[in-house]
Structure 1
Amino acid sequence: MTTLLSGIKVLDLTNVLAGPFTGYQMALLGADVTKVETPGSGDLARQLGADAGLNRKNMGTSFLAQNAGKRSIALNLKSAAGKKVFTRLVQQADVVLENFRPGVMDRLGLGYDALKLINPGLIYCAISGFGQTGPLANAPAYDQIIQGRSGVMSITGDEATAPLRVGYPVCDTIGGMTAAFAISSALVRRERSGEGAFLDVSMLDSAIVTMGWIVSNQLIAGQAPVPMGNNNFTASPSGTFRTGSGLLNIAANKQEQFETLCQVIGRPQLIADSRFAARESRKQHRAALTQAIEDALSENTAAHWEDVLTAAGVPAGQVLSVEQALNQEQIAHRELLMSLPFNDGIRDSITVTRSGFKVDGDVTRVEQGPPRLAEHTTTILQEAGYTPEEIDQLRSEGAI
């Protein structure tokens, strides 16, 4: 088991995707992540996913995707008793992670300024659509809103279809990855100095940061990006090509790769063609070059061309469905997917992803499936020093 974050205690108050993704990445590295949820309903993602039966059981596939290895406590943070329980948990915590709108935790009396008095070394990470400050700070936001406001949609698709939403919640995911990196960095500083930190993660900022080349062209070169569909704006031939069967991505970005491509597909005359002789001229005559390449590729399948081009050193890969991608031999070899115990009366296990990296050759992992709402409330309270009688009293007061 990978234990880079072993001993780190995280109180995860987040909902839906960005924050839960952060907590899950930390759990995969050995952190003890406690999901603090609203009694009765919990994380909204519990009701989201393609399996209606799981949604009704508050275990939707959207929730299952990024909450394995966590424990769940149901806690009413609007009640005085619930707040008292939370502050006791904070005393022993290393990280508080939340993705409420800015100001919500302060109004509850549980913001960073209050909590750092209880635990000066606390790492407090707040994820929001637009950050804690600025004219949009209090605006509600989900992934699609950020995709639009970041410019991501404006460059997704082609002239006929843009703007288009990216096919998965990319901005939520980027926000979650940014938060995980920020928390890990703050933990390193705390190890050296004892200082806690307030981390203000903006999904909008995070998304724009990842658009490095696009943003650089706009800011420095004054070149406004245009949607180019499946073509790579930096080079040609670099994009998606039709074959005799299936689509193939080719990225012949270097001169030697272009020349090799022409030889492998049986069109060596393209190398000497003045329209395609140099990098910039190939970009200017992209349509003609694409047509010539596709004429050659039509003689065989995408799978065939992937094999022969890859063997020759030309980056190439088939365009796969999600199901095909998950079933690749490479994915199995890397052990990216793991099976975890899960009992909903229909299945006894579920399969989820690990982290996208290994540590010293070992995969990251958790041992338990995603928690049921409030599954660990009693255990967590007992660990915090509450007696059975006190726990019963908290239940009677509606605090848990």
Structure 2
Amino acid sequence: MTKAFGGIRIVDSTHVLAGPFASYQLGVLGAEVIKVESPHSPDQARLQGSDRRMNDRGMGTSFMAQASNKKAIALDLKSEGGRKALLRLLETADVFVQNFRPGALDRLRLSYDDVRALNPRLIYCSISAFGATGPRREETGYDNVIQASSGMMAMTGYGDGQPLKSGAQLVDYGTGFAAAFAISAALFQREKTGVGQHIDVSMFDVALMLCSSHIAGLTWNGSRRRRAAGFASACP
């Protein structure tokens, strides 16, 4: 039986966790995923994991966890040859996922507008810490940074007043799920309109969404429940 995204081609130029996890979800559902990495600076997740020998081979468990069902190619996007090779791939693609700092691909003439001129049906998904617009657009951030800045860490702890990070990368995984869902919706909409679109996914926005019940209480009547000892999910 054909899987839901059979016949869909995704070019994945992401690294670490949130972006790779987004394309991994679609790959599990049948999409062809082509992972693009720099030959000079490959995905740093390749060097992370529980088996040092695998890390030394660039196949760490942190990388493998969301790398299955993917093909791979090395392209130097700062070179004209690498840039043109990526554009040739994107001409044949349905989805492009990238998590470079906002503006980085614009300077390489690989922005959404640049690519849309070649492939109007392309779904172009940008993932970043604080989104492609706004005063914090150029700031970078990882899961622990977003857990701290969103207030998640302040909601978690042992009642001693100290914030605590969740052991799992909740924001990275949440962002990956949110991006995969947004891409799915964009592909469905393309069936009706025939054209692609640009998706802007912010890790910070996803973190606030995950805290939505607490934020609703705060904005409704200023409720600020305090963290309780032994109750790690209580609100500050």
TM, length-normalised to structure 1? 0.57
Following superposition, the deviation at residue 133 of structure 1 comes to 1.0
**C-alpha separation between the residues in 1 aligned to 2:225 and 2:103?**
36
SS at match of 1:186: helix
Aligned-residue offset at 1:159: 2.2
Partner of 2:59: 59
Who is 2:93 aligned against?
A: 93
Measured in 2, the distance between the counterparts of 1:150 and 1:2 equals: 40
How far apart, in 2, do the equivalents of 1:218 and 1:225 lie?
9
What amino acid sits opposite 1:176 in the alignment?
G
Contact 1:38 1:74 in 2 (8 A): yes
Q: Counterparts of 1:112 and 1:229 in 2: how far apart (Å)?
A: 48
Tell me, in whole angstroms, the C-alpha distance in 2 between the residues paired with 1:229 and 1:23: 38
- Tell me what 1:31 maps to: 31
Alignment match, 1:179:
179
Post-superposition CA distance 1:277-312 (Å, at most 9, x none):
xxxxxxxxxxxxxxxxxxxxxxxxxxxxxxxxxxxx
Specify the code of the residue in structure 2 equivalent to 1:173.
Answer: Y
**Which residue of structure 2 aligns with residue 194 of structure 1?**
194
1:329-344 maps to which residues of 2 (within 5 A)? none
Q: Distance in 1 between matches of 2:229 and 2:32?
A: 43
Q: How far did residue 82 of structure 1 move?
A: 1.0
1:50 paired to 2:32 = no
**Could you tell me how far apart the structure 2 residues matched to 1:88 and 1:233 are?**
50
How many residues of Structure 1 are paired with residues of Structure 2 in the alignment? 234
How far did residue 26 of structure 1 move? 0.5
Deviations 1:89-126 (A, max 9, x none): 11110000000100011111111010000000110000
Q: CA deviation at 1:153?
A: 0.3
Q: What is the Cα deviation at residue 211 of structure 1?
A: 1.1
Measured after TM superposition, the shift of residue 230 of structure 1 is 3.9
Q: Which amino acid aligns with 2:137?
A: A
Q: Is the 8 A contact 1:9 1:95 kept in 2?
A: yes
1:164 lines up with 2:169 in the alignment: no
Q: How does 1:156-305 map to 2 (within 5 A)?
A: 156-160=156-160, 162-231=162-231
Unaligned runs of 5+ in 1: 235-400
Deviant stretches of 4+, over 6 Å: none
CA RMSD of aligned residues (A): 1.5
Measure the CA separation in 1 of the matches of 2:230 and 2:188.
40
Q: Distance in 2 between matches of 1:99 and 1:51?
A: 27
Q: Residue 89 of structure 2 aligns to which amino acid in structure 1?
A: L
Looking at structure 2, the residues matched to 123 and 196 of structure 1 have their Cα atoms a distance apart, in angstroms, of 5
User: Residue type matched to 2:46 in 1?
Assistant: R
Paired residues of 2:227 and 2:234 also in contact (CA < 8 A): no
Once residues 171 and 20 of structure 1 are traced to their aligned partners in structure 2, the CA distance between those partners, rounded to angstroms, is 13
Specify the SS of the correspondent of 1:67: coil
Contact 2:129–2:142, Cα closer than 8 Å, also in 1: yes
Alignment partner of 2:180: what SS?
helix
Provide the residue aligned with 1:285 in structure 2: none
User: TM-score under structure 2 normalisation?
Assistant: 0.95
Cα deviation, residue 169, structure 1 = 1.1
**Pairing 1:153–2:153 present:** yes
Task: Tell me how far apart the structure 1 counterparts of residues 44 and 70 of structure 2 sit (CA, whole Å).
Answer: 16
Indicate how the Cα distance of structure 1 residues 188 and 221 shifts in structure 2: closer, same or farther if over 3 A, else same: same
CA deviation vs aligned residue, 1:194-248 (integer Å, no higher than 9, x gap): 12110000000011011121111101121013223543659xxxxxxxxxxxxxx
Q: Percent identity?
A: 46
- Residue deviations 1:138-166 (CA, integer Å, cap 9, x gap): 01111110000111000001321531001
Letter in 2 for 1:51: D
- Alpha-carbon distance between aligned partners in 1 of 2:142 and 2:185, rounded to the nearest angstrom: 26
The gaps in structure 2 that reach 5 residues or longer are none
Q: 1:19–1:98: 8 Å Cα contact kept in structure 2?
A: yes
Q: Is the 8 A contact 2:159 2:230 kept in 1?
A: no
Offset from partner CA, 1:236-268 (integer Å, 9 cap, x none): xxxxxxxxxxxxxxxxxxxxxxxxxxxxxxxxx
Contact 1:130 1:136 survives alignment (8 Å): yes
Report the residue type matching 1:121 in the other structure. Answer: R
| Aligned-residue offset at 1:40 | 4.6
8 Å Cα contact 1:99-1:127 kept in structure 2: yes
Does the CA-based 8 Å contact 1:175-1:202 persist in structure 2? yes
> What one-letter code is carried by the residue in structure 2 that aligns with 1:85?
A
Contact 2:156 2:234 in 1 (8 A): no
Counterparts in 2 of 1:202 and 1:225: CA distance versus 1, 3 Å: farther
The structural deviation recorded for 1:41 is: 4.1
- Which amino acid is 2:131 matched to? G
